[in-house]
Amino acid sequence: MKRPVELTVNGVLYKLEIEPRRTLLEVIREIIGLTGTKRGCDRGNCGSCTVIMDQKPIASCLVLAVEAHGKNITTIEGVADHGHLHPLQEAFLEHGAIQCGFCTPGMVMSAKALIDNNQAPLESEIKEAISGNLCRCGGYARIVKAIASVKAKS
């Protein structure tokens, strides 16, 4: 039996009828059609599905969409501002922090949540913020440098 769910994703209100077993990740990708949020492990271990829900980074594969009813959600597609990359996205490009790119959306979302709440994080805080995000290519040093460069510009 489907249930009504209202989600605000990237500033757009979606009124949906969904099965209670559907995860937020499934709804974002398969129903809303925003595929920047990646499906990795489906167990909350890799961070590739990280989105920001009510200003906190979450693994969208672990949250049922019905639990997100009434919440404000930002995906990687909502980070750029009218076609202009967010400073974090620019920093990832400038510092070569993108290799295969699979982890990038989740890394950016975790970093954005950190920067939004702490404009001058220490390197240890940056590492802690992205600790739930796995990079299969091992690009952590460049990712940390990219995030640190944004806080330096702030």
Burial grade of 76 (CB within 10 A; 0-12, 13-18, 19 or more): buried
pLDDT score, position 154: 47
- Average pLDDT over the chain reads 95
Are 115 and 147 in contact by the 8 Å Cβ rule? The answer is yes
Are 42 and 61 in contact by the 8 Å Cβ rule? The answer is yes
**Which superfamily does CATH assign the domain made up of 87-153 to?**
[2Fe-2S]-binding domain (1.10.150.120)
The string of pLDDT tens digits covering residues 100-132 is 999 999 999 999 999 999 989 999 999 999 999
**Which superfamily does CATH assign the domain made up of 3-78 to?**
Beta-grasp domain (3.10.20.30)
Q: Could you give the maximum distance between any two Cα atoms of the chain, in Å?
A: 50
φ, ψ dihedrals at 60, nearest 5°:
-70, -15
Does residue 95 carry a pLDDT above 60?
yes
pLDDT score, position 152: 58
What are the residue ranges spanned by the domains of the chain? 3-78, 87-153
Does residue 153 carry a pLDDT above 50?
yes
